[in-house]
């Protein structure tokens, strides 16, 4: 194993200073600045201040053995759709000798079962309705569009998080712990928080390889100084971060696909996050004047609902056939909304019957309860494992029966994120 060091953000870092840093090593440099370090993996971040410039060192270890590297990149569970395995967090687990663990195998199979429930019972069931409405948007509108975008939300989350559950569960059977990719995203209180809870490993990759190098570059350092001089200290500090956020979400849009609708999807999220950062001082003044307690449960619920609405608006761009189609669907969601659309059986002729809607509703309630427990710090599988044997087996056998009985048997669909 060999040490690597990446230098980011110094505009006056001489080659001599960098050579001295490398020569003296990480431990000596710890004395000169603030360090975030993972002792076991010998990886971390050092933030140093030299003269009037602040910079960031990211250090860690890289692998020169091509066969070990090949083992890392070919670890089969993550090949389809992630999560994005970090070398320093995953590789050493693959190289270490392991013995069979019954507990790890049980937990892995349980995680796979949970993922199959999401994918087979929920995601595949709503796919037909979603595809029909979005694919023929000129024929629908109003409640059809609203229900379709909400069902797409269910489909995307159940499909992607369900697939990740299967991947993580498969790795867990072999005693390999992979990074979590979701952390109850629909309990987020802002769009920024949503993206810190959704596809976490992609967000971490973007932060390390795009956000930090861009926001701490020499150009952004100079731009930050110019902004503070001409726009004030508060706005000036936020401007480089806002531009970095916009760049991140532009890349996210391109990553989803080479189409204007995906770029619009990315920029929609990036603009909300950037504007929110710039308006933070105004929010603070607003809270003072209105006497709203930011930590109150009522305000938390308002924030969660607001974020859920904003997230679902973004799904129009993601799923619509084109950028213009997304705008038309947004408009006609409201201009064509009529209660008469619920009369007759038209709603039940788009790939989902009453039974399907009830199954999806029940499945969403189950996911909500599990997510709420996890949000409150309850380790669900561990809590079930602590129950008496008959209770444990009753719960897991019930899930097996539910999947066998209620799994969608129509034309299934591949994992959505496997296409990106």
50-86 residue pLDDT tens = 334 444 445 555 667 788 888 888 887 777 777 888 7
Q: What is the pLDDT of residue 302?
A: 92
Kind plus residue range of the DSSP H or E element containing 8: strand 2-8
Give the confidence band of 1 by pLDDT, cuts at 50, 70, 90: very low
Q: What is the pLDDT of residue 16?
A: 55
CB atoms under 10 Å from CB of 382, counted, come to: 9
Mean pLDDT over 345-365 rounds to 88
Q: What is the pLDDT of residue 214?
A: 84
Mean pLDDT over 15-34 rounds to 48
242-268 residue pLDDT tens = 888 999 999 999 988 889 999 999 999
State yes or no: pLDDT of 10 exceeds 80: no
Q: What is the pLDDT of residue 311?
A: 96
Mean pLDDT over 385-403 rounds to 89
The whole-chain average pLDDT of the chain stands at 81
Mean pLDDT over 194-216 rounds to 86
Higher confidence at residue 222 or residue 38?
Answer: 222
State yes or no: pLDDT of 420 exceeds 70: no
Nearest to 10 by CA among 50, 46, 60: 50
Give the confidence band of 48 by pLDDT, cuts at 50, 70, 90: very low
The predicted model scores a pTM of 0.82
112-159 residue pLDDT tens = 999 999 999 999 999 999 999 999 999 998 999 999 999 999 999 999
Instruction: Please tell me which of 1-10, 223-232, 349-358 the model is most confident about, judged by mean pLDDT.
Output: 349-358
Distances in Å between the Cα of 339 and the Cα atoms of 141, 152, 336, 343 are 12, 21, 10, 8
Mean pLDDT over 304-327 rounds to 95
Distances in Å between the Cα of 110 and the Cα atoms of 161, 166, 179, 381 are 14, 9, 17, 8
Helix H segments across 174-296?
A: 191-197, 200-206, 212-215, 218-231, 233-256, 260-278, 280-290
Give the confidence band of 277 by pLDDT, cuts at 50, 70, 90: confident
Q: What is the pLDDT of residue 230?
A: 79
State yes or no: pLDDT of 17 exceeds 70: no
State yes or no: pLDDT of 373 exceeds 80: yes
Give the confidence band of 419 by pLDDT, cuts at 50, 70, 90: low
Give the confidence band of 39 by pLDDT, cuts at 50, 70, 90: very low
> What DSSP letter does each residue of 27-76 carry, written as one string?
HHHHTTSEEEEETTTTEEEEEEEETTEEEEEEEEEE---HHHHHHHHT-G
Q: Tell me how far apart the alpha carbons of residues 364 and 411 are, in angstroms, rounded to a whole number.
A: 21
């Amino acid at each position: 194993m060999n040490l690597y060091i990446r230098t980011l953000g110094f505009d006056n870092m001489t080659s001599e200073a960098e050579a001295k840093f490398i020569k003296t090593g990480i431990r000596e440099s710890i004395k000169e600045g603030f360090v975030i370090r993972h002792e076991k993996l010998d990886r971390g971040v050092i933030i140093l201040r030299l003269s009037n410039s602040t910079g960031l060192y990211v250090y860690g270890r890289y692998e020169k053995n091509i066969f070990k590297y090949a083992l890392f990149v070919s670890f089969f569970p993550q090949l389809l759709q992630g999560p994005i395995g970090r070398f320093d967090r995953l590789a050493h687990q693959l190289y270490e000798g392991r013995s069979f663990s019954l507990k790890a195998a049980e937990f892995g199979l349980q995680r796979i079962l949970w993922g199959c429930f999401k994918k087979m019972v929920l995601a595949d069931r709503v796919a037909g309705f979603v595809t029909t409405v979005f694919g023929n948007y000129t024929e629908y509108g109003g409640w059809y569009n609203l229900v379709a975008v909400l069902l797409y939300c269910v489909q995307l989350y159940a499909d992607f998080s369900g697939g990740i559950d299967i991947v993580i569960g498969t790795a867990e059977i072999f005693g390999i712990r992979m990074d979590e990719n979701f952390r109850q995203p629909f309990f987020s209180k802002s769009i920024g928080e949503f993206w810190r809870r959704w596809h976490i490993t992609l967000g971490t990759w973007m932060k390390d390889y795009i956000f930090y190098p861009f926001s701490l570059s020499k150009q952004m350092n100079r731009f930050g100084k110019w902004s503070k001089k001409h726009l004030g200290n508060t706005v000036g500090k936020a401007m480089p971060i806002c531009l970095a956020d916009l760049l991140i979400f532009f890349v996210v849009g391109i990553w989803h696909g080479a189409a204007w609708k995906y770029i619009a999807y990315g920029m929609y999220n990036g603009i909300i996050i950037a504007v929110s950062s710039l308006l933070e001082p105004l929010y603070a003044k607003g809270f003072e004047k209105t006497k709203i307690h930011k930590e109150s449960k009522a305000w938390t619920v308002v924030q969660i609902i607001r974020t859920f609405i904003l997230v679902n608006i973004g799904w129009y761009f993601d799923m619509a056939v084109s950028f213009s189609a997304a705008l038309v669907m947004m408009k006609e969601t409201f201009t064509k909304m009529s209660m008469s659309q619920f009369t007759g059986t038209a709603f039940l002729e788009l790939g989902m019957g009453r039974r399907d809607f009830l199954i999806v509703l029940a499945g969403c309630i189950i996911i909500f309860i599990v997510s709420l427990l996890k949000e409150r710090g309850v380790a669900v599988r561990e809590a079930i494992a602590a129950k008496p044997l008959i209770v444990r087996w009753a719960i897991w056998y019930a899930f097996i029966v539910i999947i066998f009985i209620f799994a969608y048997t129509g034309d299934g669909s591949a994992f959505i994120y496997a296409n990106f």
